[in-house]
Structure 1
Amino acid sequence: MQCRMGCGACCIAPSISSRIPGMPDGKLAGERCVQLNEHNLCRLFGQPERPTVCLQFTADTAVCGETTQQALVNLMELEVVTN
């Protein structure tokens, strides 16, 4: 599956414990990453500063669903069950 341009759910729903430029302590689940622009695109995409966890995320229908709202719900549920 290809990422849906402008979705950004993976930059909002999960917690990220590693350092993100502009967020030295990472981010909480449900918190919008500061690197997500107004079009829900990652400013760090393709940059060496992008956290490893972000590089390793791969869009998948089972996780991302058919819509951004489904992706947010699915990722928030995964956050709860994995913590």
Structure 2
Amino acid sequence: MNCRLGCGACCIAPSITSPIPGMPNGKPAGVRCIQLDERNLCKIFGHPERPALCDRFIAEPEVCGSTAEEALWLITSLEAATQS
């Protein structure tokens, strides 16, 4: 599966502990990444300063569902399950 352009769920739902330009301490779960533009596209996609975690993310139906809303719910649920 390819990422749905404009989804942004993987840049909102999970916590990211590595530095992100503009977010030197990473970001907590549920917080929108500062690098998402108004169309939910990553402003640093393909740039070396993009966190390695983001580069390794692979869109899969089990994680991304069939809509952006479902992806946000699924990734939020996965994040919560790994924090318990």
- If the length of structure 1 is used for normalisation, what is the TM-score? 0.98
1:71 partnered with 2:50: no
Measure, in 2, the Cα distance between the counterparts of 1:80 and 1:9.
Answer: 14
Partner of 1:22: 22
Distance 1:21 1:70 in 2: 28
Pairs aligned (count): 83
Aligned equivalents of 2:60 and 2:47: distance in 1? 22
Q: d(CA) in 1 for partners of 2:43 and 2:65?
A: 23
Aligned-residue offset at 1:57: 0.4
After the TM superposition, which segments of 4 or more aligned residues of structure 1 sit over 6 Å from their partners? Answer: none
Cα displacement (A) at 1:36: 0.3
Instruction: Map 1:50-61 to 2 at 5 A.
Output: 50-61=50-61
**Partner in structure 2 of residue 11 of structure 1:** 11
Between the aligned partners of 1:82 and 1:57, the Cα distance in structure 2 is 16
5+ residue gaps in structure 1? none
What CA RMSD, in Å, does the superposition of the two structures yield over aligned residues? 0.4
